[in-house]
Amino acid sequence: MRLFKNISAKIASLPMVFTALVVFLGGTIWTVVYSFTDSGLLPRLRWDGLDQYERLWNSRKWLVSIENLAIYGVCSLIGTLVIGFTLAALLDRKVRGEGVLRTIFLYPFALSFIVTGLVWQWILNPQLGLQSVVRGMGWESFTFDPLNNSKIVMFGLLIAGLWQGTGLIMCIMLAGLRGIDEDIWKAARVDGIGTVKTYIRVIIPMMRPVFVTSLVLIASGIVKLYDLVVAQTSGGPGISSEVPAKYVMTAMFGGQNLGQGFAASTMMLVTVVIILVPWAILEFGGKKRG
């Protein structure tokens, strides 16, 4: 019987199946259900209708956090892909000291977001960091203090995020570039196609799976942005660097309002689903029809 075929492998996979069903799926359903309750410090199954969602979307802090995540997300996505691919393309030219450079670029990824946030908090500190160093060199009018400026604070966070995440994307892109057949480059040279045009018209389309993988990794990091914000700004100045994940944590543990935290978590889940479902249909549905 097919049911008992590879029975040992199926038995070995049971813990993971159990974890997926109970922890992930069960936890998701539990969160959605309790987002419709008036749970406070402890969860309680007392229905509150859509009141939690109404309060959520009437909260200025939540609206600011959504706007901040959108700004950070778009800039991080574009910046990480562009910088990562550019560095990979440069290293792919067989530069001297490639191994050392690859290690240097990848090293920040080994650090936690808390460490990265604290490092860049010091670097961007106007009394101790970059601004102080430049002024000490004689440029007295130099000002660079993004973490204390509510208008550009998200770009201060973005610098730290790019510094940490770009190295990983560079390595993924470099692996993809190394998988390109050398004959393609030779054919492009014979046809008189320039290097930049070859990358744009030939190499990048061939690396579509690599870009998709990179996109998923970057997007997952954007959605769960929390540690970096806490380490660098704690959501300040004021609420100018609030993000959804921090809003959830503050509501659940700071405000002792589990219902509000669950509602915010559910909205984050809905956003992810809205993005992933069309992509999955285009990515896998098209292949099935073909």
The domain limits of the chain are 58-289
- Averaged over 29-50, what is the pLDDT? 91
Say whether 195 sits in a helix, a strand or coil: helix
Q: What pLDDT is recorded for position 1?
A: 53
CA distance 281 to 104: 38
Q: What pLDDT is recorded for position 41?
A: 85
Residue 150: closest CA among 61, 51, 66, 241: 241
CA count, 13 A, side-chain hemisphere, 159: 17
The tokens 């908090």 sit on which residue?
121
What pLDDT digit, counting tens, does each position of 14-28 carry?
888 888 788 888 889
Q: Given pLDDT bands bounded at 50, 70 and 90, which one contains residue 290? A: very low
Q: What pLDDT is recorded for position 145?
A: 92
Please list, in sequence order, all residues whose beta carbon lies within 8 angstroms of the beta carbon of residue 193, skipping any fewer than 6 positions away. Answer: 201, 202
Q: Are 217 and 80 in contact (CB under 8 A)?
A: no
Q: What pLDDT is recorded for position 286?
A: 55
- Averaged over 83-112, what is the pLDDT? 90
Q: What pLDDT is recorded for position 107?
A: 92
Q: Please state the length of the chain.
A: 290
Q: Which long-range contacts (CB under 8 A, 24 or more apart) does 235-238 make?
A: 236/153, 237/148, 237/149, 237/150, 237/153, 238/150
What pLDDT digit, counting tens, does each position of 172-197 carry?
999 999 998 889 888 988 888 888 89
What's the mean pLDDT when you consider all of the chain? 89
Residue 37: closest CA among 271, 258, 268, 280: 258
With 80 as the cut, is the pLDDT of residue 92 above it? Answer: yes
Q: At what angle do helices 153-178 and 208-223 cross, to 10 degrees?
A: 150
- Averaged over 51-76, what is the pLDDT? 95
With 50 as the cut, is the pLDDT of residue 270 above it? Answer: yes
With 70 as the cut, is the pLDDT of residue 287 above it? Answer: no
Q: What pLDDT is recorded for position 93?
A: 84
pTM, entire model: 0.88
- Averaged over 20-39, what is the pLDDT? 89
Say whether 225 sits in a helix, a strand or coil: coil
What pLDDT digit, counting tens, does each position of 103-144 carry?
999 999 999 999 999 999 999 999 989 999 999 999 989 999
CA distance 169 to 171: 5
Is 58-289 a CATH 1.10.3720.10 domain?
Answer: yes
How many other C-beta atoms are found inside a 10 Å radius of the C-beta of residue 152?
15
List the beta bridge partners of residue 37.
47
Q: What pLDDT is recorded for position 81?
A: 96
